[in-house]
Amino acid sequence: MTKQNWIATLKLICIVILTVMLVSPFVFAGEIYSCWLRDSMVFAARAGDNRQLSVLMMFGADPSPVGWEEHVTPLGGATQCGRAATVRFLLKHGADFRRTDDHRQTALEIARDCGQSDIATILEKAGAAR
């Protein structure tokens, strides 16, 4: 290998290493941000805080993710806590009532298990029973 080839190879290796070093923190930070948004959506849904849900969705939060720590969707969390207004809000903003949590339960199944008949009716009217 000539001296010029050797120098070009070293430059390329340095560029690759620097690129990885510069990009990795943003990828990692993006994953942390994504996890934070998912859990924040579940926490806000359980609290019935529609205003907070709106803010989170403005920042790119999906209305249907399964929480990182909570293992339930925002719709499932709102259902567990009997937050009918929040269930309506999430459905209006595109929450997927077919999405299952880590226990493979939909929001409708959670509503039935928790005795939330009013929320089960809302979900059925939205098409969850089909």
Q: How far apart are CA 55 and CA 18, in angstroms?
A: 36
Work out the mean pLDDT of the chain and round it to a whole number: 81
pLDDT above 80 for 9: no
Tens digits of residue pLDDT in 39-95: 888 888 999 999 888 888 887 888 888 766 668 899 999 999 999 999 999 999 999
Q: How far apart are CA 71 and CA 1, in angstroms?
A: 55
pLDDT above 60 for 15: yes
Instruction: Tell which wins on pLDDT, 130 or 56.
Output: 56
Domain architecture of the chain: domains with CATH = 3-125 (1.25.40.20)
